[in-house]
Amino acid sequence: MNPKQKTILITGNRKGIGRYLSEYYLEKGYNVVGCSRSSSDLSHKNYIHFLCDVKKEKEVKTTIRSIKKLNGGVNILINNAGKASLNHSILTPSETVKDLFETNYLGSFLFSRECSKQMIKSKWGRIINFSTIAVPLDLEGEMAYSCSKSAIEKMSRIMSKELSSYNITINTIGPTPVYTDLIKVVPKDKVEEIINMQSIKRFGTFEDISNVTDFFISNESSFITGQKIYLGGL
């Protein structure tokens, strides 16, 4: 890895959006570090992969310390790791709620907290968290999932205030349905219902997402923090 290049850490990047963003930013010349619970076949001279369960604090701390030793630390964090679930609220098991909050919210918090400690020392950093269009749409059957993502939005706004004096920005992107493994658990008619509620009635694309992440991480966006962008229009 090139120590002169900025390092992007992307969680949950073995496939889907995380995999796309990893390859996308490698092509743009960044050092990219990925992590997931299983190994990745992504191979590049500027790529390193760690095995890490985002909801386990010890593993997160170990991963961040290892990145620091390898190339000086994380400059940009993209908290992509997440889970979805579709259940009527009265039929939702407590274990499902716990798992969603630990993976989506706790995982994003742990990585944001640990990476921001490094960013404070260098007085520069970008953190991008993932929410979902399901939050503002108040979709039936997605109570637990939406609540876990809503917590991420609140976390992002508060942390953005706490870290603003260190030139660290924290923003959130809320994708519409993008055809990945995550969306496969949602029935086709439910996906169509969501798309019909959008102003622009189509699936989101990987390129739609990287357009927003590019905006958030750019040097010109140093005055943009605590914001959220929902794709597709409400």
Distance CA 90, CA 75 (A): 42
User: What are the tens digits of pLDDT across the range 144-163?
Assistant: 999 999 999 999 999 999 99
What's the whole-number mean pLDDT along residues 15-27? 97
Average pLDDT over residues 95-115: 98
- Provide mean pLDDT across the span 73-90: 95
pLDDT band, residue 55 (cuts 50/70/90): very high
Global confidence as pTM: 0.95
The share of the chain scoring above pLDDT 70, in percent, equals 98
Mean pLDDT of the chain: 95
Among 38-42, 114-118, 186-190, 216-220, where is mean pLDDT lowest? 186-190
Domains of the chain: 7-229 (3.40.50.720)
Token duo for residue 140: 């039936």
Average pLDDT over residues 23-29: 97
Q: What is the 3-state secondary structure (H, E, C) of the chain?
A: CCCCCCEEEEECCCCHHHHHHHHHHHHCCCEEEEEECCCCCCCCCCEEEEECCCCCHHHHHHHHHHHHHHHCCCCEEEECCCCCCCECHHHCCHHHHHHHHHHHHHHHHHHHHHHHHHHHHHCCEEEEEECCCHHHHCCCCEHHHHHHHHHHHHHHHHHHHHHHHHCEEEEEEECCCECCCCHHHCCHHHHHHHHHHCCCCCCECHHHHHHHHHHHHCHHHCCCCCCEEECCCC
pLDDT given at position 234:
84
| The pLDDT of residue 116 | 98
* Averaged pLDDT, 2-26: 93
pLDDT (average), residues 19-29: 97
For residue 218, what pLDDT is reported? 97
The token pair that represents 228 in the structure block = 């959220």
Check residue 153 and give its pLDDT.
98
Residue 3 pLDDT grade (very low, low, confident, very high; cuts 50, 70, 90): low
Residue 9 has pLDDT above 80, yes or no: yes
pLDDT digits (tens, 9 = 90+) for 166-202: 999 999 999 999 988 767 767 788 888 899 999 999 9
β-pairing, 228-230 vs 168-174, is parallel
